[in-house]
Chain A
Amino acid sequence: MIEMIDVYKSYPNGVNALNGINIKIEPGEFVYIVGPSGSGKTTFIKMMYREEKPTSGAVLINGKDVASYKNSKIPLLRRNMGVIFQDYKLLTNLNVYENVAYSLLVTEETRTRMKRRVMDVLELVGLKHKIRMKPQELSGGEQQRVSIARSIVRNPKLVIADEPTGNLDPETSIGILKLFEEINALGTTIVMATHNKDLVNNFRHRVIAIENGEIVRDEVKGEYGYDI
């Protein structure tokens, strides 16, 4: 599914974010990316959805090197994955239904198929009864559920999440993680960068630890391994 070969990334300001990453993630895996702040987790994640290009090395998604993609090809790559962020990235002037349907709009889905699909995922995330509400009328956890619904509405094989529980209380965070596990159970690969020690330790999955742009640990059913 995902393979990084000798990936280096240095930013114009001289920061070396990634220093020779070699990793392979198989289809259907659930992977935590952990590490201290500024260790390169976000850059690692950005490589996968081609928000950043490596300075050298290859990033293979389904066998294709996305680093060599032309800019015009990026939309096609992103249509086959879902991306989730700490700040939800919802459009405040659209309601719940419209926010989720937004993702199908760009691929010009028919209206009936769109409606069926959006209602299906909203049921999965437990927000079917709030489709007419605006994001600001929802709690943080509910907003993140809308964002998750949007990311999976196109049935992607890969969901990438950068600190999805960063703004949520522990109880809500557990709810979100369980939702990810449900999605994972349906066969979708999940890659999740997180600082949430309790989640990583209580819901055991593969853990990849990054420090100073290098992979320092890669364990099946690993632990968080840091104090905070």
Chain B
Amino acid sequence: MIFKSLFYHFKESWKNLFRNAWMTFASVSSVAMTLLILGGFIVMTMNLNYITQGVENKVEIRVHIDRTAEKDEVTAMRSKLEHVKNVKSVEFSSKDDELELMRESWGKNSSVLDMFEQNNPLHDVYVVKLVNPQDVEKAAKDIESIDFVDKLQYGKGFVNNLFNVTRIGRYVGIGLIVGLIFTTIFLISNTIKITIIARRREIEIMRLVGATNAFIRWPFFLEGIWLGTLGAAIPIGILSLAYYYLYTNVVERLNVQFLQLLPPNPFLYQLAGILIGIGSIIGVLASLMSIRKFLKV
């Protein structure tokens, strides 16, 4: 039974969008505006996350081993390092490996380093990676107390500052997103309420001729979905174009090492999915909320 009328509701809800063209315009643009801001924040937060993760993965503590340490003492040191809290992995890198690494990073000028081939001044190193890179400071303190540790290298202040900035960024982003979702629901429910007041007569007549509440609700329910989806389509278009431009023109040309953005594919598809999802959910919630009081349920 319900399927026979589903087609009618489908057609009806679509027609209603055009019948109340101005209300539709108002609702769609308010959804579009809020989802645009929301989408902008999602783009920012997710990229900030991505950048932070990139930095987190690069965080390592390079433990320089005292030159006086004997072979068995170096081995003992490894197991001690592995037992330090928060340590994920420990890898040995001999002073020759270190020299090779330096050569690689110096590139063309690396011939200067040839003179050290016979008498390598570098230390053997343990490269320590952490489970939770944000606590690098604490792990470093624990490692310092181990015997035969000459010195530690982990970009002390910089790492800490960056983590603080991104942490604050994350919280502010999430807070703003939650706030915006509520504002959007409120906005749409208000616009739909106006649509319903404009159509109060229709609801009254539906009730008079014996329509069930479910029957009355259907077109409004679908209308909510349309409004939300249409409203989402605009910011999806704008954000996708802007992001794609930013990604291909700005970031790739600048080629800053740690400023890596999420690749547009699949990120933009995910973003579209999220915005359409949020748009239609708030559309439906708002329409159900605003029709309640007219139904005497």
Contact = CB atoms under 8 A, between A and B. Distances in A.
| Same assembly | yes
Interface of A: 49, 71-72, 74-79, 83, 89-91, 93, 102-103, 105-108, 150
A106 B208 contact: no
Contacts of A83: 208
Contacts, number: 47
Nearest to B3: A108
Contacts of B215: 106
A150 B212 contact: no
Contact of B212 (A75, A91, A103, A105): A75
Contacts of B201: 89, 91
Interface residues of B, number: 20
23 contacts: A72-B212, A72-B213, A74-B207, A75-B210, A75-B211, A75-B213, A76-B210, A78-B208, A79-B209, A83-B208, A89-B201, A90-B205, A91-B205, A102-B205, A102-B209, A103-B209, A105-B8, A106-B209, A106-B212, A108-B1, A108-B4, A108-B5, A150-B209
A90 B207 CA distance: 13
B19 interface: yes
A71 B210 CA distance: 12
Contacts of A90: 205
B211 A106 contact: yes
B296 A106 contact: no
Interface in B150-193: none
A89 B4 contact: no
B210 A89 contact: no
Contacts of A78: 207-210
B210 A79 contact: yes
A91 B209 contact: no
A91 B297 CA distance: 24
Most buried by A among B19, B204, B205, B206: B205
B202 interface: yes
Interface of B: 1, 4-5, 8, 19, 201-202, 204-213, 215, 296-297
A103 to B, nearest CB: 4
B209 A93 contact: no
Given A71-B296, A102-B209, A105-B8, 14 more contacts: A49-B208, A74-B207, A76-B210, A78-B207, A79-B209, A83-B208, A91-B202, A105-B5, A106-B206, A106-B210, A106-B211, A108-B1, A108-B5, A150-B209
Contacts of A105: 5, 8
B19 to A, nearest CB: 6
A49 B210 CA distance: 10
Nearest to A104: B209
